[in-house]
Structure 1
């Protein structure tokens, strides 16, 4: 299967990490993601800080949202309700179909077709199998990476095959880095920890910058 072209012009201009909609060709209407109008579920002590959206079925959103305690699983749908977070991490498998689906979601957002208020803050690619990533997939990954501010990669973890979601340890902000080769019941994998820590740090920086700008704009 070959990946669909991104159809991006060479004169793309970023507008605060978002491309000018006029430079992006949106996916066909039958390839747009559904929209979730209801608020995201709050399963922990606090409302979610970001949502994990699957670019396709089997993208691992439930596992990622379980691993990252501050996250919510929004399935395949854009989170449209402003009552909970609309900051989105797009998730996909690291394979040609997964990358193609991820490109669709990112192009859809850049083209202004996601619900008002949605902010895509990153793309997480989870290994589709153990072992080396094929060269063709690596090349297309580099192309898709140009559509997103932050790219995270999660390796293949064999132990997931024998674990229920509820058994998985969770990453919480300010957690210490896990010990090497910890079981998944004891700690999240190191790559999951690093991605979660970077996402939280990035969100905190954005919040601080927005507060500072708001303060400077006040009379």
Structure 2
């Protein structure tokens, strides 16, 4: 079973989609900071860092699937030498969503490293089948804290594949054929989310502040 849905939040505070810090409740938990630049594992440096909201969030799988992404573990990318655009990853379960909301609140109140900008959240299924009602309700909390949420469904074949065997999405790839082996093509929901991610990164890189900065550069 696989599915992809993208949800827009009911409000945005500014061009960076950051809420006013005084309006955000945070438990005080903090993610680590990665001071080293992100590695380049493909032909080009990564465009976005995948930051896990918790252990087992699927960062390595998502970063493998999306060629323009790099696995940042559970740490914010603190080095300006490589991308500081972030997708927060979490499992679609109540503990995963709670941890994801904590990471998003941490960014909203300004506790992430300077330069970090969140472009969205990717939620990967914790099990096949229907999503329980409490999980759906808390997912709405996450949706209210970020610009976009991508949801990747359950894929049985993952349990029998090594990470290095998985196919990789690149922005120029055509839509994958239905029911392809994961070693031959990424799942359709991963492809759609990857395509939308590229658009989100382009919007982030050409946002009002960055555009104004470039125009003011002599």
> With structure 2 as the length reference, what TM-score do the two structures score?
0.90
Does the 8 A contact of 1:50 with 1:88 survive in 2? yes
- The alignment partner of 1:113 has SS state of coil
Q: Distance in 2 between matches of 1:33 and 1:137?
A: 23
Q: 1:56 to 1:212 in 2, by over 3 A?
A: closer
- The alignment partner of 1:123 has SS state of strand
Q: Distance in 2 between matches of 1:159 and 1:37?
A: 35
Per-residue CA deviations over 1:85-119 (Å, capped at 9, x if unaligned) read 00000000000000000000000000100000000
Q: 1:204 to 1:13 in 2, by over 3 A?
A: closer
Q: Which residue of 2 aligns with 1:5?
A: none
Per-residue CA deviations over 1:63-104 (Å, capped at 9, x if unaligned) read 000000010000000010000100000000000000000000
Q: Which residue of 2 aligns with 1:6?
A: none
Tell me by how many angstroms 1:13 deviates: 6.4
Q: Which residue of 1 aligns with 2:149?
A: 151
Q: Distance in 2 between matches of 1:140 and 1:126?
A: 15
Q: 1:199 to 1:13 in 2, by over 3 A?
A: closer
Q: Which residue of 1 aligns with 2:20?
A: 20
Q: Distance in 2 between matches of 1:148 and 1:110?
A: 10
**Larger RCO: Structure 1 or Structure 2 (Cα < 8 Å, ≥ 6 residues apart)?**
2
Q: Distance in 2 between matches of 1:206 and 1:36?
A: 21
**Structure 2 residue runs without a partner (length 5+):** 1-10
Tell me by how many angstroms 1:206 deviates: 3.3
Q: Which residue of 2 aligns with 1:113?
A: 111
Q: Distance in 1 between matches of 2:144 and 2:197?
A: 18
Q: Distance in 1 between matches of 2:120 and 2:67?
A: 17
**Structure 1 residue runs without a partner (length 5+):** 1-11
Matches within 5 A, 1:18-97: 18-28=18-28, 31-97=29-95
Q: Which residue of 2 aligns with 1:140?
A: 138
Q: In angstroms, what is the RMSD of aligned CA positions?
A: 1.6
Tell me by how many angstroms 1:22 deviates: 1.6
Tell me by how many angstroms 1:15 deviates: 2.1
- The alignment partner of 1:120 has SS state of strand
Q: 1:36 to 1:215 in 2, by over 3 A?
A: closer
Per-residue CA deviations over 1:164-198 (Å, capped at 9, x if unaligned) read 00000000012111011111011100110011100
Q: Distance in 2 between matches of 1:71 and 1:40?
A: 10
Does the 8 A contact of 2:85 with 2:201 survive in 1? no
